[in-house]
Structure 1
């Protein structure tokens, strides 16, 4: 079935009503509160510990910078599907019920570009008014992550890096050097074999757990050589991505050839059930996860065993690309109120300021998007006391700026294709060549279908 860029306005309107009811919003709120403050609404995706950190940062803004500038921010938790809710509002042209600022994942940037309500961060910098965070102070990897055709579309906020997590006690137990974790996929396969424990034919301890999906594959494709693109038009950043290029350039086949070594160990768990909990229970010795999970893993493991993080193992030892920036950014929207636009700009910059970044990042494990953070004594102390976090920071800063997740506007469909085929390959139900062909052809079919429907 072809993707459609628009849906009927009636359906979109109905969805909007449902959305607003669920969020507890009203459509008649004034932009000015009784005390004269300009009110803006901020949608975010953070829950649990991260949600508490998010609310704390917003409250601090309201009590300090917001109070000084006559701004009050109302934060609204929207679950994981902020981008989908924004699409619904945009399709219904329901500007009134847009938030002023929204936290969206990088994959949501291509969709946001189509919204007439979007305010590009690049345009705000070009206006040169009320600038409190200089663009040159923003981390170049994070800027590239949320830029399209060399324009910064959304403000970097919470970014992460993909890492190898490993059980140091388990390494020592099987004769692996806990201070020298695997640096390549081939070395990771060798470690898997040593970590494997079986009771007859039943595996009781795996060497590695990771479900290879779009996010993981984008890093192993992007990190090859000096850097490598996932698809054409620089992976969708120089123009619409209409095809994957990892088939024609051989990078997917190269990755799968190395990954075959992991599969062949019989010590690889190819699906993720409860990866955080299972790692903390010692059900496998290694896992590939985002740096944003460091705090969660630390809490779950406690003092049960020693663990550490390491850079993502390379496809080839000679690769220098590094890894892509993961995470989210801040999109601003114009609802026709200039005072709200100005307030949104001040708030958005605050979230990218050293003060807010230190508070949020040290509470969550996300990485700084503002390079001035590293000059602050609090962050320097935090990094000294948290070496697992420092590994992620160093990996991000040492990566090539062109190693990025793609701007593939149908990312969820490509993710499903990659996940399903890699699960079959990992389980031994599908050979390498079939897996390679399937991923390339199925991804390109979906991209071509979208391009035909949307120009």
Structure 2
């Protein structure tokens, strides 16, 4: 019961973060069914059964990403699925699949868990506590029905979905935070290359901002600094930087933030204070996609998953580029955290369905699925071999904004990760509120102390309930 309540508490606190271990105890029958991660052994090209094995797949994709996902699932059903006799039915479950799972967990309705589910990386330590979860770590160790080898997955993408040294999900819809910049406005301002550091970005903002009296007509930069943005700025400092103890919650429960102790937060605020002082910085994202697409902002910091949306808004007519997120200091080498979601599978007591789910889960991390989905959505491939293929190299050559995203993903240190902080939504609100106050004149020390103290307070409350 204590493990069950821990999961419910964590899920209640958890909000999916857009651009990273509770537990539950199922009913006795479900626990017995889920107690083993073994699956039916099949030969490649052989059907699992005389009749098709149907599995359900929950996802949270919308818009162009949903279309790309539907195409990916259709391709599976027509190729690998047909070969193995597997039929996958995708269904949109809202933007927070973890909330759907929580509802089922509260009712102890384990039978209605999906076979396969897309989950945001921040939810992994909670999902890891479900007895029904089948971990890829165990499936790879068993060595059965391997269609996508573990080594094909980029190391930093795999670590994103690793908790307590166990791979709990396979990466699927993943992204990297980027600097978007309007090439025409850069040319008009006499800027030849995108800024590589915050200091260089400050200089660019001053040149790019256009005012009519006191009114800003064109902002140099637009970004709302919340948890997602801050963790990337701080995580890439030095070789890499953890935002909390126990490697940011990946080797054990995160009990405190360390960004105050190691000086990283103050170092960032020192630089961001200069951004605010330009007068050409828009700190609230009310319509960031549209405003960048219309040339109302010369630079914007957004997830690579927005590339498809920007292209859709402009019909591909906007002359823009993307670049790596500017670093806090010139010598920072860590890179950025892998954002987005992975795919988990659940064992509901049917060996054939578990095998089918495992095959589909791997397919989504494979070359064909990653190519179909990523080229149609703006997400970044996480399959190492796909980058070596001619089709992917051609796509990147023809789609310049995706190049920086792919490079950022591949070159980032695997230790630069979103923290498993367990109170994600509350921490997001704290950082958002304090950074807005900072942009509106709150002093730097107060901003620093409020962020650190309030985060530590929320973490302490969680630890007290769940230790």
**One fold, TM greater than 0.5?**
yes
Structure 2: 5+ residue stretches without partners? 10-48
What residue is the counterpart of 2:13 in the other structure? none
What residue is the counterpart of 1:356 in the other structure? 369
Q: CA RMSD in A?
A: 1.7
Task: State the distance in 1 between where 2:81 and 2:315 align.
Answer: 38
For 1:394-433, list aligned pairs within 5 A: 394-428=407-441, 430-433=442-445
For 1:168-183, list aligned pairs within 5 A: 168-177=183-192, 180-183=193-196
Is the CA contact 1:87–1:111 (under 8 Å) kept in the aligned structure 2? no
What residue is the counterpart of 1:211 in the other structure? 224
Is the CA contact 1:211–1:272 (under 8 Å) kept in the aligned structure 2? yes
- The answer to whether residue 466 in structure 2 is matched with residue 449 in structure 1 is no
- Displacement of 1:93: 2.2
- Displacement of 1:148: 1.0
SS at match of 1:125: helix
Is the CA contact 2:181–2:322 (under 8 Å) kept in the aligned structure 1? yes
Is the CA contact 2:430–2:454 (under 8 Å) kept in the aligned structure 1? yes
CA deviation digits over 1:366-406, x for unaligned, max 9?
A: 11111010122211110111121011111111111100111
What residue is the counterpart of 1:15 in the other structure? none
SS at match of 2:220: strand
Is the CA contact 1:6–1:91 (under 8 Å) kept in the aligned structure 2? no
- The answer to whether residue 156 in structure 2 is matched with residue 141 in structure 1 is yes
Is the CA contact 1:167–1:306 (under 8 Å) kept in the aligned structure 2? yes
- Displacement of 1:147: 0.3
TM-score scaled by length of structure 2: 0.89
- The answer to whether residue 294 in structure 2 is matched with residue 281 in structure 1 is yes
Task: State the distance in 1 between where 2:455 and 2:270 align.
Answer: 20
- Displacement of 1:83: 0.9
What residue is the counterpart of 2:180 in the other structure? 165
- Displacement of 1:6: 6.2
What residue is the counterpart of 2:31 in the other structure? none
Task: State the distance in 1 between where 2:358 and 2:461 align.
Answer: 37
Task: State the distance in 2 between where 1:136 and 1:308 align.
Answer: 31
CA deviation digits over 1:29-78, x for unaligned, max 9?
A: xxxxx982111110001111110110111111111111111111111011
Residue of structure 1 aligned with 2:277, choices 264, 267, 271: 264
The runs of at least 4 aligned residues of structure 1 exceeding 3 Å deviation read 4-8, 302-305
CA deviation digits over 1:97-120, x for unaligned, max 9?
A: 100110001001011012111111
Structure 1: 5+ residue stretches without partners? 9-33
SS at match of 1:239: coil
- More displaced 10-residue stretch of structure 1: 299-308 or 220-229: 299-308
For 1:100-119, list aligned pairs within 5 A: 100-119=115-134
- Displacement of 1:5: 3.2
Is the CA contact 1:270–1:427 (under 8 Å) kept in the aligned structure 2? no
The aligned length equals 426
